[in-house]
Structure 1
């Protein structure tokens, strides 16, 4: 019997609410630690020293990724969110507008408060994100200019969490998408990139979705070839004992854009 083809990121069946519930809701102890707490902790450590700063941050991340903005909103006056999935854009806007049925990220806000040594204040942390996000813009990486016809200013810092491997079909398209994404960032600005190393799929409601498989060396070469100087890199090995995902490591890169490519 032929195997069922994997679905992709832009499939209508990829419900962002199910992604949250499956992997990073408050009751998902193990996967929440790796997929939510680890990147939030590392982002806090990256931004706190003050070396990676600016006025404007652009975020292009997998699905409804609010978590990293809970830390970023302390350091940037303006945040622009980019997303290529219409259903994810609708869920992001529901959360920003505090509409009924919006997803609950309070546990992520509480965790960020703990990182900052605060025992309370998570509601204000969420409100700070809502005030900082000035635009939510649809992007389409099948276009030469993914934001056309919208024009946004180049950012001082660009954050991206789990996105490129979700939307890239092969290594060539990963490189092409990275170059397009890098056009959103100023020369001299910093890219903070989180990715899954050696992953091929993830499961949502018994449906299997594709992820591009690549390793640490490929990612480093891709960044160098796209005009970046890598300033720091870290990774953590997966400890999840599950058939739901198959990544080996979570990796992150902090890279300075030295030239246009």
Structure 2
């Protein structure tokens, strides 16, 4: 009997709040270490020297991921969040407005404070992110211009966490989506891309969602072909004992946009 097709990121079963609570909730000791603490540690190392900074940052990440902005808000004055999932947009706005039932990110803010050598101040850090986020914009990567009819200025930096493999159906659409992401950046701007290498699915409750499988070499070639010069790369091997996600490595790329494509 044929296996049931995996669900898509934009399907109605996608639960953005539950995604965060399942993988990086305060009580998820093992997965939180790999999927929250490791990326935040690496991002802190990337940004703390001060070489990657600017006025405007665009964020395009899976679900309601905002933890990376707890660090990035110290290096960029304004943050514009892009998101293609209506469910995710609603959850992001709930957090921004501090509505009841919003995703709890206090443990991420506390961890960032520890990275910075501070014993307190996590509430102020969350408020700084809320002030820095000036817009949450719906995007649609099936369009030639994903932001149409909205216009946003090209940014100095772009952070994307797990988005491309979740939203791309095949290698061709990945390349197309990466090119469209590049158009959001100024020449000379930096892309910080967090990825799952050799992943095929993730689960939320009983629902299995597809992720695009690709390896390190594919990602490097895609970045070069899209006009980026890769400045640094790192990866961390999956040590989780779980059946809810099957990635081989968590990885990241820091790349500078050298040309328009």
1:175 matched to which residue of 2? Answer: 175
Q: Distance in 1 between matches of 2:20 and 2:253?
A: 24
1:117 matched to which residue of 2? Answer: 117
1:69 matched to which residue of 2? Answer: 69
- Please identify runs of 4+ aligned residues in structure 1 that moved more than 6 A: none
> Does 2:23 match 1:19?
no
TM-score by length of 1: 0.99
Q: Deviations along 1:55-76, whole A, 9 cap, x unmatched?
A: 1100000010110000011111
Q: Distance in 2 between matches of 1:20 and 1:212?
A: 19
Spell out the pairing of 1:122-141 with structure 2 (5 A cutoff): 122-141=122-141
Equivalenced residues, count: 261
1:144 matched to which residue of 2? Answer: 144
Q: Distance in 1 between matches of 2:154 and 2:99?
A: 30
Q: Distance in 1 between matches of 2:187 and 2:61?
A: 21
Three-state SS of the structure 2 residue aligned to 1:186 is: strand
Q: Distance in 2 between matches of 1:232 and 1:246?
A: 25
How large is the Cα RMSD of the aligned pairs? 0.5
Structure 1 residue 106 displacement after superposition: 0.2
Q: Distance in 2 between matches of 1:4 and 1:48?
A: 45
2:48 matched to which residue of 1? Answer: 48
TM-score by length of 2: 0.99
> Does 2:78 match 1:78?
yes
2:245 matched to which residue of 1? Answer: 245
Q: Distance in 2 between matches of 1:206 and 1:216?
A: 30
Three-state SS of the structure 2 residue aligned to 1:89 is: helix
Which 5+ residue runs of structure 1 have no aligned equivalent?
none
Q: Distance in 1 between matches of 2:250 and 2:25?
A: 19
Q: Distance in 1 between matches of 2:103 and 2:63?
A: 12
Q: Distance in 2 between matches of 1:96 and 1:74?
A: 18
1:223 matched to which residue of 2? Answer: 223
Q: Distance in 1 between matches of 2:196 and 2:70?
A: 22
Structure 1 residue 2 displacement after superposition: 2.3
Q: Distance in 2 between matches of 1:63 and 1:182?
A: 20
Matched-pair contact (CA < 8 Å) for 2:17–2:63: no
Structure 1 residue 20 displacement after superposition: 1.4
Three-state SS of the structure 1 residue aligned to 2:54 is: coil
Q: Distance in 2 between matches of 1:106 and 1:9?
A: 26
Q: Distance in 1 between matches of 2:146 and 2:255?
A: 22
Q: Deviations along 1:78-97, whole A, 9 cap, x unmatched?
A: 00000000010000000001
Q: Deviations along 1:109-166, whole A, 9 cap, x unmatched?
A: 0000000000000000000000000000000000000000000011000000000000
Q: Deviations along 1:7-51, whole A, 9 cap, x unmatched?
A: 010011110111012111000000001111111110010000011
Structure 1 residue 103 displacement after superposition: 1.0
Q: Distance in 2 between matches of 1:78 and 1:207?
A: 36
